[in-house]
Structure 1
Amino acid sequence: MKLSERGPGGMGRPAGVWTEIKSLQVPGARLHYEVRGAGPLLLMIAGAPADAGALAGPAACLADRYTVVTYDQRGLSRSTLTTTPTDQDVTVFSQDASLLLAALGDEPAFVLGNSGGALTALDLAVRHPEQVRALVVHEPPVPEVLPDREQWRAVFQDVHDTYREHGAAAAMGKFIATVDGPDSPPPAMPDPSQMPAEALEMMGRIQGNLDHFLAHVLLPVLRFEPDIAALRSGPVPVTVGVGEASGNGVPVLAARVLAEKLGTEPLAFPGDHQGLALNAATSAEIIHAAFA
C-alpha cells in the first residue's frame, strides 16, 4: 500500500487529491486499485484497453462526497495475471468486481461502469445485487442487443483477424471506427507536450494492453448479453448514459437500445465516448445527481 498525491488538476479535476494505492489477490490475478475520498462507497470501472487512469478525473471530482475506488481490470496495466493468459469474459470481470467490493466492506456500493467496464457493472448488478446500491453505465458496447448483431459480430471478428494478421495498430484503427461510428472523422491525436504526466503514463500503459485486449478480451466481452429481465425486475436502479456528441458507433447505439429495453430514458453526458475523462467535473455532477 502507498499514498500518492495526484495533481495538479487537469480537465476539470481538483488538484491535490490523495490516492491510496492497494492491491487484492483474486483467483488468477492480482488487482491494482486506488482509493480516494470519504463517504459512501463508489466503485468506478473503466473498460479495456484503458485502466483506472481513464476515470481519475471524475473520481477526483467526486472524492469530496464518496469513497471512490477505481481499478485496473485483470490482465490490464497493473492488474497482472498469475496464470497463463486465456480469453476473459464478462463473468470473470464481474466476479473480480464482487471480490473487490467484498474486500472493501459490507455496505452496498454505488457503481459506475464506463464503456466495457459498463458490461462488468451490468453483470455485477445481476449476479450480486446485494452489493450494488445503484448503477450508472456510460455507453456500454453491447452489440448483442442490436437488431443487426450478426453484422457487428462479423465486424469484430474482422478486427480480431486483422490483429492476428497485421498487428495491433491496424486492428485498433478498425476498432476505433466501431466506437466512434463509420462516418466519424479519425480522432484527433493530443499533443504529448501539452499532456500532464499522469495522462502520458496512462497512454503508455494502454499501448501495453493492446495485445492482451485484442487477443483475449475483445471477442468474448463483446459477445456478452445482459440479463434484461433480471435488470428490470431486480432491486438495483440502472441509469444508462450517452454522450451528447457521440456518433453512431456501437456504444451509443447499444446504450439507447438498452435504455429502451429497461424502460428508461438515456441520460445525456457531455462529449462523446471519452466524455467522462475530458469533461470530468460536469460528468461528476451528472453521476452524483443520478445516484442522489
Structure 2
Amino acid sequence: MTARTTGSLRVNGATLHYEVRGEGPLLLLIPGGTGGAASFDDIADDLASAYTVATYDPRGMSRSTLDDPEAEQRVAEHADDAFRMLELLSPGEPARVFGASSGAIVAVHLLTARPERVARVVAHEPPLVEVLPDAAEHRALIARVKETFRTQGLMPAMTVFAEGLKKDGDAPEPKAEIKLPPQAAARAEQTMANLPYFVGRIVPGFMSYAPDLRRLEALSDRLVLACGEDSRGELPYRPAAFLAERLGTELRHFPGGHTGLTTHPAEFGEHLRKALRV
C-alpha cells in the first residue's frame, strides 16, 4: 500500500479533509454521490505509481465540515474548493482531474472556470440534465424528490430518485449480485451517514446546474466524457452522450455502470489511466 499524507484545507465556509499519495504530476480525484476520499481507495494506490494522487471529502461530506450545516450547496463553490486544492498541491502547474457523477459536474465547471489550471478532465457520467432536450421532466423529478424528502423522509425520497434514474419505460431488471471489494463494503456505514446531506443539498443544487456550452466547445480538447458500459439508456448516461455528440468528441465507456469505480475498481482504474493521457 502506498504511503499517504493527510491534511486539512480551510476554504470559504468549510474545512476540507484531503489525502495525498504518490509522486509525479498532480491528479485530483473528485468523488460523487455520498462518497469521499475513501471512495478512491481501490484505485488510488495504483494510480500513485504515475501521479501524485490527491483525494478529498467534498464540503459537508464525511470529514469535511461546514461552518453552516444548513447552507445551500452550489456547484461553483465546490469547484472553487477543487481549485484551492490545485493551488495548494500543484501551484502554477496544470493538473489532471477526474470526477465521478456529481464530482464530474464539479470537474466540468472547474474546467470552464479555471482552464489555465487544468490539463485534462475526465468526467464519468456527470448528471448534467439541464443540457437534455427533456430537461423540464428532470426538473420535475428533482422537485418531487425534494418534496418527498420534506414530507416523508429520506428513504421514500431515495425511492423516487432511483425510479427517475432508470431506463426509460423499463421495469426494473434483475441484476446479478455483485460482491463488493472489502474496502467498499466497509464504507457503507459512512455512505449512509452522508445520504441525507446528498439528497437534501447536493441533488437539488447540482442537478439544476447548466454548464457553459460555448466554453466547453472551446475547451473540448481537454475534456474526456465517459459512461459505464452497463448504464446505456439510464439518466446519468444521457448527458455525457449528448455532450460528446454536441462537442464532436469520443464518448468513452468504462466497466460497470454508474458505480463502476466501486464494482470494477481494477478495470476502471486501467481505463482511467488511458483516458488521462494528454
Same-fold call, TM cutoff 0.5: yes
The AA in structure 2 aligned to 1:92 is: E
Question: 1:226-245 maps to which residues of 2 (within 5 A)?
Answer: 226-234=211-219, 237-245=222-230
Q: Which residue is 1:11 aligned to? A: none
Question: 1:26-105 maps to which residues of 2 (within 5 A)?
Answer: 26-105=11-90
Contact 1:28 1:81 in 2 (8 A): yes
Question: 1:171-210 maps to which residues of 2 (within 5 A)?
Answer: 171-181=157-167, 183=170, 184-185=172-173, 196=182, 198-210=183-195
Q: Which residue is 1:125 aligned to? A: 111
Name structure 1 gaps, 5 residues minimum.
Answer: 1-15
The AA in structure 2 aligned to 1:271 is: G
Describe the superposition over 1:148-199 as per-residue Cα deviations: whole angstroms up to 9, x where unpaired.
11011101111111111111111112222334436343777767xx762x33
Over aligned residues, Cα RMSD in angstroms? 1.9
Instruction: Choose 176-185 or 52-61, whichever is displaced more.
Output: 176-185
* 1:225 CA drift (Å): 1.0
Paired residue secondary structure (1:214): helix
* 1:104 CA drift (Å): 0.8
* 1:93 CA drift (Å): 0.5
Normalising by structure 2, what TM-score? 0.92
* 1:177–1:34 CA distance, 2 compared to 1 (3 A): farther
* 1:52 CA drift (Å): 1.9
* 1:76–1:63 CA distance, 2 compared to 1 (3 A): same
* 1:236–1:129 CA distance, 2 compared to 1 (3 A): farther
Which of these residues, 149, 153, 174, is aligned with residue 163 of structure 1?
A: 149
| In structure 1, C-alpha distance between the alignment counterparts of 2:164 and 2:100, rounded to whole Å | 16
| In structure 2, C-alpha distance between the alignment counterparts of 1:173 and 1:280, rounded to whole Å | 26
| In structure 2, C-alpha distance between the alignment counterparts of 1:179 and 1:37, rounded to whole Å | 36
**Aligned-pair identity (%):** 39
Which of these residues, 91, 96, 101, is aligned with residue 115 of structure 1?
A: 101
* 1:165–1:17 CA distance, 2 compared to 1 (3 A): same
| In structure 2, C-alpha distance between the alignment counterparts of 1:276 and 1:204, rounded to whole Å | 18
Paired residue secondary structure (2:231): coil
* 1:231–1:94 CA distance, 2 compared to 1 (3 A): same
Q: Which residue is 2:2 aligned to? A: 17
1:139 corresponds to 2:122: no
Q: Which residue is 1:246 aligned to? A: 231
The AA in structure 2 aligned to 1:285 is: E
Q: Which residue is 1:264 aligned to? A: 249
Contact 1:58 1:277 in 2 (8 A): no
Paired residue secondary structure (1:134): strand
